[in-house]
Amino acid sequence: MDNISRHTLDPASLTTPLDAAREVLSEAASCLDAAAGAMGPDFLATAEALGAAESRTVVLGVGKSGHIGTKFVASLVSTGHRAAFIHPQEALHGDLGQARDATLAVLLTHSGATDELRILTPYLKDFGVRIATITAFRDCLLAEHSDWVIETRVTDEAGLHRLAPTSSSTTTLSLCDALMIASLTIRGFTPEQFRGLHPGGLLGRGLMTVRDVMLEASTLPWVKPGASIWEVLDVITTGARGFAVVCEADPATLPPVSSVGVISDGDIRRALADRSGFDTLIADSIMTASPMAIASDALMFDALRLMEENRFTFLVCEDEGRLQGAVHMHEILARDLGVPVRGDRLP
């Protein structure tokens, strides 16, 4: 077998802490590349078992492998998998019952000969559980009890004296992440499903859609195209959002976006440049026709990015070309910062 992770650097040649640190990362990169190349039918079969709709997964590992296992389970649960971590020592004293209804067991062991796992595998088999083992190489003791073996191909750790788990733990963790992503690909996992599992925090806010923060069409401040400039000012002030929609029909009827215009505070200020004719202006003469729109199911942050790129403070929202509402930058920022949005505020 190729010595994938052995590096030509002698520990004595690592003259600085940065040299030592860079060697760890360099060897990890080489190991990950080797592990990617070693993926094959066993990896795919494990991903399919993990991604099956009826899948229930248990993960077992001792020591550093156990810590990786708890992270793997946390990632699985956060993406909709039914999964649990079982510590092998606890499993030997009663906790193995958690695996009775499992369909898949993932064993994490660099050596492939962890005593606790060797004792447990026959019982897992009795439960009818398929076993996938992530280990250095497939010619190990646990392979004969496993349905599938996924190899890290790591022979040596990185760093001084090559004792502390580095390359092996990094590669094992990365293979766990790879299995999770492969299984999500099989399931056709969507951002909407992810959002449903992360209602709070930055992840949840980042996956909120425009529809979650927009003003519904029926609540939009609006005027007809022939409305006087004074009516426009009154509607914008009363609407308290710094803009008004211009359309012949009530926005609640969801008219085509192509038939709608908008007037912003900026449009009013520009109209004031001609003070002598300001009194005679009507909505149709100062509005922006067919304004830029964003789909109501677009991500909230995409709307914010579009506003920033175009120096807008609001966008109209559409669905299949019909007006659905409008979203203001203040609503997005207030939601992102956790500040309640007042419906009665004045600009």
Please tell me whether residue 337 adopts helix, strand or coil conformation.
Answer: helix
The CATH fold assigned to 210-337 is: CBS-domain (3.10.580)
Q: What is the DSSP letter of 200?
A: S
Q: How far is CA 172 from CA 45, 149, 260, 301, in A?
A: 17, 12, 56, 34
User: Which residue(s) pair with 132 in the sheet?
Assistant: 106, 148
In angstroms, rounded to a whole number, what is the distance separating the alpha carbons of residues 131 and 121? 8
**pLDDT per residue over 76-119, tens digit each?**
998 889 999 999 999 999 899 999 999 999 999 999 999 999 99
pLDDT at 5: 44
pLDDT at 342: 54
Q: Domain residues of the chain, as ranges?
A: 11-189, 210-337
Positions of the chain with pLDDT lower than 50, given as ranges? 1-9, 345-347
pLDDT at 281: 93
Side-chain-facing half-sphere of 243: CA atoms under 13 Å: 24
The letter for the amino acid at 343 is G
Number of H helices, E strands in the chain: 14, 13
Determine the distance from the C-alpha atom of residue 19 to the mean position of all C-alpha atoms in its chain, rounded to a whole number: 34
pLDDT at 162: 86
Asked, colleague to colleague, whether 11-189 and 210-337 share their fold, the answer is: no
**pLDDT per residue over 272-323, tens digit each?**
888 888 989 999 999 999 899 999 988 888 888 888 888 888 999 999 999 9
pLDDT at 94: 87
Domain at 11-189, CATH homologous superfamily: Glucose-6-phosphate isomerase like protein; domain 1 (3.40.50.10490)
